[in-house]
A and B are shown apart, each in its own frame.
Chain A
Amino acid sequence: MTVQANAGRPDSAAPPAPPAIELRGISKAFGPVQANKDISIRVARGSIHGIIGENGAGKSTLMSILYGFYRADSGEILIGGQPTAIPDSQAAIRAGIGMVFQHFKLVQNFTVLENVILGAEGGAMLRGAMTRARQSLLDLARDYELDVNPDAVVEDLSVGHQQRVEILKALYRQADILILDEPTGVLTPPEADQLFRILRGLKDQGKTVILITHKLREIMEITDTVSVMRRGEMVATVKTAETGPEQLAELMVGRKVLLRVEKRPATPGRPVLEVENLTLRDGQGVERLRGISLSIRAGEILGIAGVAGNGQSELLEVLGGYARASGSVRLNGQPLDLSGREDAATRRAQGIGHVPEDRQARGLIMDFSAWENAAFGYHNAPEFQKSNILMDNDAIRADTVSKMERYDVRPPIPTLAAKNFSGGNQQKIVVAREMDRNPDLLLIGQPTRGVDIGAIEFIHKQIVALRDAGKAVLLVSVELDEIMSLSDRIAVMFDGRIMGERDPATTDERDLGLLMAGVVQ
């Protein structure tokens, strides 16, 4: 295998055709943080090139530079061998670069056609553009297996189809180079397979695809070449056929990594959480939870598998104390009030810790410092008060220093704002806060979303340790790998219902995938 030890230097022997994209010595700093350090990379035309790295390794920054969101402090971008300046995204589009973001940028109540021409109307009147776009959508659908009804309203489409609209948008703008940022995060396994088929089709038509991901399996499955980033540097570029997941993981983290979670068999005790017939209607009167029943015992991890948006979030919200529902929930035998009289603070006092699914919108106040966040939700605790009114900020800071040390939060600076930590370290702050109080029940949603491999390993160990300490854990994740390796029992949710329970030892991805799609009862 050929690991290019210092990717900072281009090969001495020039390849015959110019690469689709070549970056030379790209550097970008945000204040004291060097996000990209002298990055050089060549992406061959008509290939699928994976970029892998931990969160905060600089992948997104690099792609943002390529798409004109940031300007590099130094370095050069060559598109098809021509030095090209990309001051903004318009220039990127002109250079033939299309980007599919992790969070889609679609107007939900527009049709597919309207979304595709948005920003590329080509005149004050829409009629002409609509007709042209309709024709080219049909052509693209034929060429690349990208079937979407042009007149469907985006909010009615499944996530997989919305993603196709994003790809169509890029192709409609004549993109030759397609960048996809963590594209499978929101997809079911069958949808991901479909996406990969589309990407292969694009490649066969001579398009160049750059795939940013943290999932080693996807890299191995679909890419031709893979570049590994670590701490702002490009540490290696290798042919995918000549490497393996273990080596890539090691390159990403800089040390050997355990990809499987090591745990002893569970020894379940008394029931901690008993949920019966839990039903929730949202503001529009739509049933989001349709009679959920489940129970978790002490010393047990119950994993909830399912495609995002099938009621998992609502389940966590009800148990976490900030959504009303009907039905019965008992914690340690005591019934909980679900009518809205008890709030999230009550739940914490009752012994429920809660790592929310969306740490940036719920779990943390991004502008608050780490120490202010480390007390968030527990800021009423007696040890954090100086008097009835005044908080004891010194006590909170001291507690934060200790938490940061025990949960390996880096950098261990309590005064740093949450937004300046990497995703993994942000999550460690939340996990430290919610686990450190030794809750009887831990609700944990998407524990490792946007979290780097090193931190995933750490967080998984913490979850298992909590279980081994005799606590109950409700794990919600869209990552099947994570559900399969952590759970002692797996329940699959679809459309607000539990479709079935499985033993992780006897089930497989196919079986779960069918349940997740609502196929078998």
Chain B
Amino acid sequence: MTAMPKWADAVLVPLISLLIAFVISGLVILAIGENPMEAMRIMVSGALGSTYGWGYTLYYATNFIFTGLAVSVAFHAGLFNIGGEGQAGVGGLGVALACLYIPWPHWSLALAAALVASAVFGAAWAAIPAWLQAKRGSHIVITTIMFNFIASALLVYVLVNILRPTGSMDASSARFAEHLRLPRLNEILALVGIPFNNRNPANISFLLGLVACVAVWVLMWRTRLGYELRAFGKSEKAAVYAGISPVKITMAAMLISGALAGMMAVNTVMGEAQRLILNSVEGAGFIGIAVALMGRSHPFGVLLAALLFGFLYQGGAELALWTKIPRELIVVIQALVILFTGALDNMVRRPVETLFLMARKGR
């Protein structure tokens, strides 16, 4: 029963939700005695007003693309993977090991190895909860949350006791070799003659994120595995009737999900810090849940939502820098966006549907 055209469902409804979230955020800013219009101006100009701002926005967006896709893939199979944070963290360990212990002659080889390593490490971290779910029925939401904490403890241990160079007081690994530095976005854009700021961390990983979007789309809607995965996510009973193995699909979905989350680390660890530091994921694993929700688990929607959250992240940082608005307020804004685009979706959807029905009748 489609009451409204597809574009309204996919674009108009989230846009209206977003607008409401912004209006309420404005009221909050007003309440703490700041000017919301000025705040908005700072956010927009800080995140999108310069190529420097764009660089940071795209850098954050890259993280959110990977974690958002990770949540989406699991979600299509009816699995709620809350463990993106831990999987990305462990993925970072994979990147560090690949870059530190093998003397790669060129960054491109190191990138390939880092991608594989991060995917394998992330997938491995997701594999244990997946196995427990598939074989023992332990709820994946609970186990993936617990694995976030285990990952965090594991990384502290590894950084402090194994990867920390002797004599260093900092709980982080040694720096990767300089020639393994990933090409920055400004270097790539310079090849086609577009000038771009060089003092931001946006790098080739953003393009990898775009490739990942396309790859996930192909996986979900063009492959047999994607078909089985979606069928299983819609109805396990029907999937079993069709000869689809729940164990196989649960494992496959979670391994792919974990791998995508793990690959996020290529952006942060190899693209930005060039060493493994504590808490390199910075909550991007959790933002991925919001991104997948807002993007309706569609790769294209995830891309748009990731860009939005990249904007919010960078704009929020600018806001904290130039006004008395605390950085935490950006969390409020993000929460409102999640609330309206995810949880309160029907609140906007119903009236819009009614409007379309009325418009149709009026014709």
Interface residues of A (CB under 8 A from B): 30-31, 33, 320-322, 343-348, 354, 356, 361-368, 372, 376-377, 379-380, 385, 389-391, 393, 420
Contacts and interface: CB of A to CB of B under 8 A. Distances in A.
A376 B243 CA distance: 9
A467 B218 CA distance: 42
Contact of B243 (A365, A368, A377): A377
A31 B234 CA distance: 24
Contact of B234 (A367, A389, A420): A367
Contacts, number: 74
A376 B231 contact: yes
B346 interface: no
A361 B239 CA distance: 10
Contacts of A361: 235, 237-238
Nearest to B2: A31
B222 A365 contact: no
B222 A393 contact: yes
B227 A391 contact: yes
Contacts of B230: 365, 368
A356 B241 contact: yes
B7 to A, nearest CB: 15
Interface string B193-220: 0000000000000000000000000100
A350 to B, nearest CB: 11
Contacts of B245: 343
Nearest to B221: A393
Contact of A30 (B1, B238, B244): B1
B227 A362 contact: no
Nearest to B1: A30
A347 B240 CA distance: 12
Given A343-B240, A343-B245, A365-B234, 15 more contacts: A30-B1, A320-B241, A321-B243, A322-B240, A343-B243, A356-B241, A363-B241, A372-B227, A376-B242, A377-B242, A379-B242, A389-B223, A389-B224, A391-B224, A393-B222
B245 to A, nearest CB: 7
18 contacts: A30-B3, A321-B243, A322-B241, A343-B245, A347-B243, A354-B241, A356-B241, A362-B237, A363-B241, A364-B238, A365-B234, A368-B230, A368-B231, A376-B231, A376-B242, A379-B224, A390-B224, A391-B227
Contacts of A391: 222-224, 227
A390 B220 CA distance: 10
Nearest to A367: B234
Contacts of B240: 322, 343-344
Interface of B: 1-3, 218, 222-225, 227-228, 230-231, 234-235, 237-238, 240-245
Interface centre among B227, B237, B241 (most CB of A within 10 A): B241
Contact of B238 (A354, A376, A379): A376
A393 B226 CA distance: 12
Nearest to B222: A390
A33 B1 contact: yes
A471 B237 CA distance: 27
Nearest to A30: B1
B238 A362 contact: yes
Contacts of A376: 231, 238, 242
Contacts of B238: 361-365, 376
Contacts of A30: 1, 3
A364 B243 CA distance: 13
Contact of A385 (B224, B237, B242, B243): B224
A420 B240 CA distance: 23
Nearest to B231: A365
Contacts of A420: 1
A462 to B, nearest CB: 20
Contact of B241 (A344, A368, A379, A389): A344
